[in-house]
């Protein structure tokens, strides 16, 4: 089968032919239809992601498709079922073998492409804002990188949860996308973030995917008893948090990594995905997919992420 594969540590991923995998105890095989791309895929290629598998492995973290084979000791899953899998790896291929515990049934109301675009971006924002930050109706949410894969979903979900949403992004086109997702206030990256947020009354919750100076400015614009979620570091710098400022303003910095829940509380992720698929069916959320590309163009899709030329999600169809 074809797969976007890393053969050994330090090598770049490339599209190549590998052996089609077989199921073992507790596993299913999926004929993959679509796979969402993520910034983490770029980090895995460099070996700098916190959950990089040992080589050899196939990239692709969020999968949708049809059950093709069922291993021993698997119940409730049948050949032909439409499913989503938060796999962590193995999605950029024609077939993938995954633990049955990670499989979620897909309703007929959602396409494979949209379901591939929802899992990590929407799952991250939903769990971070609801389960971790406990965002409340009427609070002000600041989202940085608001037109990116996770940022845009934070705008949408924050608005759905009843917050006033401030969106920061680069340029009029990206800000327009954030506005269409529900943002109440828009801040261009050319503006002073701290001053702009303070002029709007400050932020109660900060959802930051950029890090570096952006996080520092957002930190200084957070209201007393505010909560900050450092979701990622797309800007390249992991911010250092001044603990004395936490004390003065009674702030809380909340760690969150959706993949970690698969290890110690997988039911949290499952419930979140089921909620998100239900919301989609009810018309409450709609993933923004800027590019849908075939597997033969997966390298171009990765380049779009690297150069920040995509908005929302890039999805690869198999």
Q: Give me the pLDDT at residue 47, please.
A: 86
Kindly state the average pLDDT of the residues 254-278. 91
Look at residue 242 and tell me if it is in a domain: yes
Residue 292, pLDDT > 90, answer yes
Say yes or no: 161 and 228 in one domain.
yes
pLDDT band at 259 (very low <50, low <70, confident <90, very high): confident
Q: Collect all residues with Cβ–Cβ distance below 8 Å to 292 and sequence separation of at least 6.
A: 113, 314, 315, 316, 317
Of 236, 253, 270, the residue that ends a domain is 253
Look at residue 126 and tell me if it is in a domain: no
Q: Give me the pLDDT at residue 9, please.
A: 82
Of 253, 269, 292, the residue that ends a domain is 253
Residue 78, pLDDT > 90, answer yes
**Alpha-carbon distances, residue 171 vs 146, 178, 302 (angstroms):** 11, 11, 22
pLDDT band at 30 (very low <50, low <70, confident <90, very high): very high
- Phi and psi, residue 290, nearest 5°: -85, -25
**Domain holding 243: CATH number?**
3.40.50.720
Say yes or no: 249 and 311 in one domain.
no
Q: Give me the pLDDT at residue 82, please.
A: 98
Look at residue 83 and tell me if it is in a domain: yes
Say yes or no: 92 and 144 in one domain.
no
How many percent of the chain have pLDDT more than 70?
100
pLDDT band at 10 (very low <50, low <70, confident <90, very high): confident
Q: Give me the pLDDT at residue 237, please.
A: 86
Nearest-10 crossing angle of helices 298-306, 39-46: 100
307 DSSP assignment = T
Which residue in 163, 137, 169 sits closest to 178, CA to CA?
A: 169
pLDDT tens for each residue of 140-193: 999 999 998 899 999 999 999 999 999 999 999 999 999 999 999 999 999 999
pLDDT band at 311 (very low <50, low <70, confident <90, very high): confident
Look at residue 123 and tell me if it is in a domain: no
Say yes or no: 305 and 213 in one domain.
no
Say yes or no: 6 and 94 in one domain.
yes
Helix locations, 161-311, DSSP H: 171-180, 193-199, 212-220, 243-249, 258-264, 266-281, 298-306
Residue 36, pLDDT > 80, answer yes
Say yes or no: 31 and 105 in one domain.
yes
Say yes or no: 111 and 202 in one domain.
no
Least confident of 63-67, 100-104, 157-161, 190-194: 100-104
Look at residue 125 and tell me if it is in a domain: no
Question: What is the number of structural domains in the chain?
Answer: 2
Least confident of 129-133, 147-151, 166-170, 199-203: 147-151
Strands (E), 7-155: 14-17, 27-36, 57-58, 62-70, 82-86, 95-99, 103-105, 140-143
Say yes or no: 271 and 229 in one domain.
no
Helix (H, G, I), strand (E, B) or coil at 317: strand
Say yes or no: 164 and 193 in one domain.
yes
Look at residue 82 and tell me if it is in a domain: yes
**Domain holding 76: CATH number?**
3.90.180.10
Q: Give me the pLDDT at residue 12, please.
A: 87
Say yes or no: 224 and 197 in one domain.
yes
Say yes or no: 105 and 29 in one domain.
yes
| Host domain of residue 198 | 134-253
Of 253, 274, 308, the residue that ends a domain is 253
Q: Give me the pLDDT at residue 232, please.
A: 85
Say yes or no: 60 and 167 in one domain.
no
Residue 236, pLDDT > 80, answer no
Look at residue 9 and tell me if it is in a domain: yes
How many percent of the chain have pLDDT more than 90?
82
Residue 83, pLDDT > 80, answer yes
In this structure, what is the dihedral angle of CA atoms 23, 25, 30, 36, given to the nearest 10 degrees?
-110
Q: Give me the pLDDT at residue 1, please.
A: 97
Look at residue 128 and tell me if it is in a domain: no
């Amino acid at each position: 089968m074809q797969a976007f594969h890393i053969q050994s540590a330090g090598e770049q991923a490339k599209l190549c032919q590998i052996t089609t995998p077989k199921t073992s105890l507790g596993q299913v095989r999926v004929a993959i239809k679509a796979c969402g791309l993520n910034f983490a895929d770029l980090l895995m290629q460099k070996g700098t992601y916190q959950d990089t598998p040992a080589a050899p492995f196939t990239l692709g973290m969020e999968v949708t498709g049809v059950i093709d084979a069922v291993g021993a000791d698997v119940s409730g899953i049948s050949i032909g079922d439409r499913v989503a899998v938060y796999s962590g790896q193995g999605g950029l291929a024609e077939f993938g073998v995954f633990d049955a515990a990670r499989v979620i049934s897909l309703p007929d109301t959602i396409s494979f492409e949209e379901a591939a675009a929802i899992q990590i971006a929407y799952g991250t924002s939903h769990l971070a804002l609801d389960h971790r930050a406990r965002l409340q109706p009427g609070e002000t949410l600041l989202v940085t990188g608001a037109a990116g894969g996770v940022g845009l979903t934070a705008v949408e979900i924050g608005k759905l949860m009843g917050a006033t949403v401030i969106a920061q992004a680069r340029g009029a086109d990206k800000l327009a996308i954030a506005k269409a997702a529900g943002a109440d206030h828009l801040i261009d990256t050319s503006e002073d973030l701290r001053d702009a947020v303070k002029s709007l009354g400050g932020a109660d919750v900060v959802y930051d995917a950029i890090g570096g100076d952006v996080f520092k400015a957002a930190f200084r614009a957070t209201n007393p008893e505010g909560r900050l979620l450092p979701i990622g570091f797309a800007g390249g710098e992991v911010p250092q948090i001044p603990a004395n400022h936490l004390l003065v303003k009674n702030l809380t910095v909340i760690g969150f990594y959706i993949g970690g829940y698969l290890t110690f509380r997988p039911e949290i992720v499952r419930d979140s995905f089921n909620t998100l698929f239900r919301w989609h069916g009810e018309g409450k959320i709609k993933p923004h997919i800027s590019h849908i590309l075939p597997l033969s163009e997966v390298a171009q899709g990765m380049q779009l992420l690297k150069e920040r030329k995509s908005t929302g999600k890039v999805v690869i169809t198999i």
